[in-house]
Structure 1
Amino acid sequence: MLRLEGLALATVGLVGQIWLGTGWWAFVLAAIAPDLSILAYLGGRRLGSILYNLVHVTPGPLVLGALAVSTGDRLLGSFALAWLLHIGIDRALGHGLKYASSFHDTHLGRIGRAPI
């Protein structure tokens, strides 16, 4: 069910972007940007998992989207939709929120190769 929910989020992000009709360059950059949060792992697993998770949950893009609608800012709307797309693709592929124990331990199960 969570993977299907992720697919729905990704679909909303993509279809919303097509409907919005703003430039694709900003959309693509914004879709990749949440993964820059992986750099927080340089500060340790606990900090990394907290910051990574903060940008991989839906409240952020939903608030940004509401702000975009209330101000009529289409570029901001594009960023919000790209962020939703990113989260949706991650969930659809089985990449969940991270536990501090390991980057590979997620709320959707373990990702990557099995430990030796």
Structure 2
Amino acid sequence: MNQRLIKAEGFMFAVLAAVLYFSNGYSWLLFLLLLFLPDVSMIGYAVSSKTGAYVYNAAHTYILPLLLLLSGYLLSIEWPVLISFIWIVHIGLDRMLGFGLKYTSDFKDTHIQKL
């Protein structure tokens, strides 16, 4: 895969989500407190590499935060929207820095590069 393209995509998602988050006047403190929450998914590696990869990848794909964002907008509920923006920023920053989705072989094997 093209590393530069994936990193650029991550950067764009992170910037867009951050701009949308802060333009809505959401809290800086909440942003900082929740920004690294998706990394708690690494706990799956305590069970096995396979479990860890599945749990980590579930928390580091855009699917869940985009579904949360959509549900927040459709139901006019603010908290899913702000959480999804923070979550998207996290995923985007990870991609931008080269931390990709994990293969089941090892934590350091990602779809972007071997760390």
TM-score in terms of structure 1 length: 0.91
Matched to 1:54, the amino acid is A
Matched to 2:10, the amino acid is G
Shift of 1:68: 1.0
| Whole-angstrom CA distance in 2 between matches of 1:37 and 1:29 | 16
Contact 1:22/1:74 (<8 A) preserved? no
Aligned to 1:83: 87
1:17 correspondence with 2:21: yes
Please, which of 35, 46, 51 is the counterpart of residue 50 of structure 2?
46
RMSD: 1.0
Provide the secondary structure at the position in 1 that maps to 2:109. Answer: strand
1:7 correspondence with 2:50: no
Unaligned stretches of 5+ residues in structure 2:
none
Provide the secondary structure at the position in 2 that maps to 1:94. Answer: coil
- The superposition leaves residues 48-106 of structure 1 with CA deviations (integer Å, 9 ceiling, x where unpaired) of 00000001000111000001111222222110000000000000001100011110000
Is the deviation greater in 86-95 or in 29-38?
A: 29-38
Matched to 1:28, the amino acid is L
Please, which of 54, 59, 64 is the counterpart of residue 68 of structure 2?
64
1:36 correspondence with 2:23: no
Shift of 1:8: 0.5
The sequence identity of aligned pairs, in percent, is 32
Contact 1:26/1:79 (<8 A) preserved? no
Shift of 1:16: 0.9
Provide the secondary structure at the position in 2 that maps to 1:110. Answer: coil
Question: How many aligned positions are there?
Answer: 111
Contact 1:11/1:85 (<8 A) preserved? yes
Moved over 4 A (4+): none
Unaligned stretches of 5+ residues in structure 1:
112-116
Contact 1:20/1:74 (<8 A) preserved? no
TM-score in terms of structure 2 length: 0.92
